[in-house]
């Protein structure tokens, strides 16, 4: 973040505004809503500001700015049309450690005034870090339509209940869950629709139904293949509600950023070769935290029930008597193939698709190589890069033509995505030349060749665009 967002309590605090035109007027009107003690300095004062001064709402000094005007200021807004004067005032503020905003001059500003949605005490601020004020305003307009007008009254009503809830529900975890049920359930809808009495009845009923020691539960969540925007809405809700998150090695940090800030995060990833946290240890952690009454999210890359050992974890929870639910995710096969422009099935090229783990034989399994080698079949190999040569050899041995298209997708759906398109006989050499590294997905079948025409994301799309324009 270029700017750290804060909400500044300016009630009764002295704020200096240098300039008295239309822009300064808008800033003064905004500051007045925060009950700041506003001082305006300018040689010419707009009539609206003069009117405000006559009511005692602000103080005006009809003259040029002087350095002593900064004395006692907690915030300075500079809104004159003279760039040199603005920059000089900004330098004076910097020397004194006073936060300063120079209107339309990001480089001279220490703080930025965001676009604001005011549902006091609920305040939503939107900023583009000064890069595009128009974009920030447009985002605010969209959010205005989504946030109910009575949401501020609802927040105040909830605040008024806190003392009673603290007295009736001593457990902090239970209190948090109680308020979550209010905010997420019909009580909020009743209140924002104007039915405060109905909201209160629901709140009282919920309070009587809560047990003193909430039961823990585990939610198995698919984090998707890499792009954090592929998270489902249910996955986002689970992350926001979790007390503790056990996450795999390949889960991007950007996905974890969606979690509640105070949630405990425990990395339990396993690397190639079996190093890392054992599956038994992961199962024990899930059970331990759930038995402590915590809401646990087990966060896995892709979909948790496709080569993620999610089924084993659910079986362990069943044996331990732990409640659980599953939030599916966009699988690595679906996500990576889509971002590479490779349809896994196609009326002309593929009537079936088979998902295979590249470690299958090492784990005691034996893929049906004859099935995988059949025409009009798409074979998708997870974790197959380390055994790429072996996979190619077995497919050809079982009848797959050597010229069958094959594609490796590395770091799929992310900005680092790489796609190598070749044939069964050349894919290993191409991967070596391109220095492809895990995680990578291998797609074998006629559909892989469609990447050349359908690539739309990342370096492949850029390369195709350059070729077409040449």
Task: Give the active site residues.
Answer: 248, 270
Q: Would you say 380 and 372 are in contact if contact means Cβ atoms under 8 Å apart? A: no
Interatomic CA distance for residues 48 and 345, integer angstroms: 67
What's the angle, vertex CA 356, arms to CA 353 and CA 359, rounded to 5? 170
**Helix H or strand E encompassing 443:** strand 440-444
Show the beta-strand stretches assigned E in 338-423.
Answer: 352-357, 377-382, 405-410, 418-423
Q: Round to whole Å and give the CA distance between 166 and 159.
A: 11
Full 3-state SS string of 292-320: CCCEEEEEECECCCCCCCHHHHHHHHHHH
Rounded to whole angstroms, the Cα distance separating 32 from 53 reads 12
Helix, strand, coil shares, percent, the chain, to 5: 40, 20, 40
Distance CA 67, CA 196 (A): 53
Supply the angle between the helices 151-168 and 196-209 in degrees, to the nearest 10: 30
Q: Distance (Å, rounded) from C-alpha 74 to C-alpha 393?
A: 72
Sequence-ordered list of residues with C-beta below 8 angstroms from that of 352, at least 6 positions apart, any chain: 345, 376, 377, 378
9 contacts 37 by C-beta, under 8 angstroms: no
Q: Which of 146, 204, 207 is nearest to 174 (CA)?
A: 207
């Amino acid at each position: 973040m270029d700017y750290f967002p804060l909400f500044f309590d300016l009630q009764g605090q002295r704020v200096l505004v240098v300039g008295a035109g239309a822009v300064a007027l808008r800033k003064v009107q905004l500051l007045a809503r925060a009950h700041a003690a506003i001082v305006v300095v300018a040689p010419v004062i707009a009539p609206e500001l003069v009117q405000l001064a006559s009511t005692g709402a602000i103080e005006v000094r009809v003259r040029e700015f002087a350095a002593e005007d900064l004395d006692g200021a907690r915030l300075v807004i500079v809104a004159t049309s003279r760039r040199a004067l603005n920059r000089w005032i900004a330098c004076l503020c910097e020397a004194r450690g006073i936060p300063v905003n120079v209107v339309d001059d990001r480089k001279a500003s220490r703080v930025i005034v965001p676009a604001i949605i005011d549902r006091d005490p609920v305040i939503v601020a939107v900023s583009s870090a000064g890069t595009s004020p128009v974009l920030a305003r447009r985002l605010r307009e969209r959010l205005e339509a989504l946030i109910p007008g009575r949401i501020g009254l609802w927040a105040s009503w909830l605040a008024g209940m806190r003392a009673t809830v603290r007295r009736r529900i001593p457990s902090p975890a239970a209190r948090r869950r109680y308020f979550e049920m209010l905010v997420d359930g019909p009580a909020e809808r009743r209140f924002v629709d104007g039915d405060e009495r109905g909201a209160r009845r629901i709140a009282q009923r919920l309070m009587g139904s809560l047990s003193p020691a909430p039961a823990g539960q585990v939610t198995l969540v698919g984090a998707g293949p890499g792009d954090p925007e592929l998270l489902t809405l249910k996955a986002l809700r689970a992350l926001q509600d979790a007390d503790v998150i056990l996450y795999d090695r390949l889960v991007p940090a950007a996905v974890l950023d969606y979690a509640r800030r105070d949630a405990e995060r425990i990395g339990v990833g396993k690397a190639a070769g079996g190093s890392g946290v054992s599956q038994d240890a992961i199962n024990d952690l899930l059970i331990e935290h759930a038995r402590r009454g915590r809401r646990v999210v087990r966060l896995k890359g892709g979909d948790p029930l496709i080569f993620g050992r999610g089924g084993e974890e659910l079986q362990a929870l069943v044996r331990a008597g732990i409640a659980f639910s599953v939030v599916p995710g966009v699988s690595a096969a679906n996500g990576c193939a889509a971002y590479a422009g490779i349809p896994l099935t196609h009326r002309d090229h593929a009537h079936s698709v088979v998902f295979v783990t590249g470690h299958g034989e090492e784990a005691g399994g034996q893929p049906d190589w004859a099935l995988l080698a059949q025409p009009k079949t798409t074979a998708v190999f997870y974790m197959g890069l380390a055994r790429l040569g072996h996979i190619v050899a077995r497919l050809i041995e079982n009848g797959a033509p050597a010229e069958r298209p094959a594609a490796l997708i590395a770091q799929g759906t992310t900005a680092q995505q790489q796609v190598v398109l070749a044939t069964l006989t050349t894919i290993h050499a191409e991967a070596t030349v391109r220095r492809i590294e895990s995680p990578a997905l291998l797609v074998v079948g006629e559909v892989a060749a469609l990447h050349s025409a359908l690539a739309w994301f990342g370096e492949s799309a850029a390369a195709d665009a350059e070729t077409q324009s040449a």
